[in-house]
Amino acid sequence: MATIETISGVGAGPAWTPLGTMDYGIIGATTVVDVTTALFIVHVVWNAGWPPYTAADPQLLVYTSMAAIIATLGVSMRYGLWGSDGEALGCDVVASFTWIGLGALFSTAFLRVYRAHDVLIRQDGGMWPVVAQLALLLLPFTLAPAFLSSSSVAMFDPASMECQPESTVPEWSAFVVMGILAAFSLVLAFRLRVVRVQAPYEFETALAISVILAVAAAALPLVHWEMEGDRDGRREITLLTTALTGVGIVAAPALRFLYSYISDEEKLKSSGDFCIGEWRSKKKLDYIIMQSRKFQEVASSSRNVPNFPVVDEFFRALIAREEITSYPKLQSTTMRILDKYFRKGVLHATALPISEACITTTLQQKASSTFIFDRARAEVLDGIGVGKLPQASLSSPFH
């Protein structure tokens, strides 16, 4: 291949060659992926209240899908796929699309793992908005393009059809941040293994995304630097890697929830999975409140009701849980109830009249099940006699 002269301090490299069959094949595949992703965005926005999308966080699904599209466009421009059109765009546009696109792709993926960890491990249902968290994560990727796009450190080279930066610092800094996000994702996904029984969807999604990020964080810089002498091959592999990374990060949460919803629909309806939609109703909340009042009536008529404060607190927690409509907050509340009343070694777990079998069964259910605490609530009521009485009366055995 022909070589070019040094431009703005960048070493010589092979000249751009016309697109071949492989290039057009990858362009076609990437176009199909981007169009499908765009249609998916429309579907998510139009059906944001659908249980699988609600469980997967529709807002984050949309941002991740948009990032995947921008990333493939940016990579195609950065590595000369646009040919002479890249010169018209300018290095500032190319740099912004490339690093903001890749940065958004990695940031939204990490954000999904981080938020799952916050909800299920830290049990924080009131996190910062997705937009605020994403803006914070994107800062390193917006600083790098600003430096790279400066006219004093980057020039478009018509021979290679690429923007040639004078310094590799911006690109290295972006790749390092990608690696950091991938590493932290793996750590958080590993910590999520303790809740894999109560939250299998979130754990499996976090694990899949973390592995995808780790592979991409290793592959992209490796291809970028090691294949600099074969820019045609570098362009093809980088674009394909970026497209596959975007597909994996978008599909991992969406398909996992969607598959569970469709394949096990009858099972989900019987268990009230996802804890949202048609399985949650005011009627059930009224029923729990009525049971709680029965317990309080019995307690007020006798001093012998065991562990009144703990039982009353337990019922109040269940009532508050039924009033929650936010899926993340619902899961964090469920995990707090499990930790406070059902885990071994917890004082409240021994104070409630719940059998060991019931505790074990409850801890084996998903946190997204509407009916996860039904058996425990029934045992508590039965244990203090409320379950056997239509209402508190003078004939109560506790009187």
* Length of the chain as a residue count: 399
Give the alpha-carbon dihedral of 392, 395, 396, 399, to 10 degrees: 110
Q: Which residues contact 96 (CB under 8 A, 6 or more apart)?
A: 74, 145, 149
Q: What is the distance between the alpha carbons of residues 24 and 370, in angstroms, rounded to a whole number? A: 50
Can you give the residue ranges of every domain in the chain? 21-263, 275-388
Q: Which residues contact 372 (CB under 8 A, 6 or more apart)?
A: 334, 362, 365, 366
Could you tell me if 310 and 351 are in contact, meaning their C-beta atoms sit under 8 angstroms apart? yes
Q: What is the distance between the alpha carbons of residues 131 and 177, in angstroms, rounded to a whole number? A: 19
Q: What is the distance between the alpha carbons of residues 125 and 371, in angstroms, rounded to a whole number? A: 20
Mean pLDDT throughout 60-66? Answer: 96
Q: Which fold has domain 21-263?
A: Rhopdopsin 7-helix transmembrane proteins (1.20.1070)
The tens digit of pLDDT for each residue in 92-117 reads: 777 778 888 999 999 999 999 999 99
Could you tell me if 120 and 83 are in contact, meaning their C-beta atoms sit under 8 angstroms apart? no
Q: What is the distance between the alpha carbons of residues 206 and 209, in angstroms, rounded to a whole number? A: 5
Instruction: Provide the CA 69 distance to its chain's centre, in angstroms.
Output: 18
The tens digit of pLDDT for each residue in 89-98 reads: 667 777 778 8
Average pLDDT, the chain: 81
Q: The whole model's pTM is what?
A: 0.83
* pLDDT class of 396 with cuts at 50, 70, 90: very low
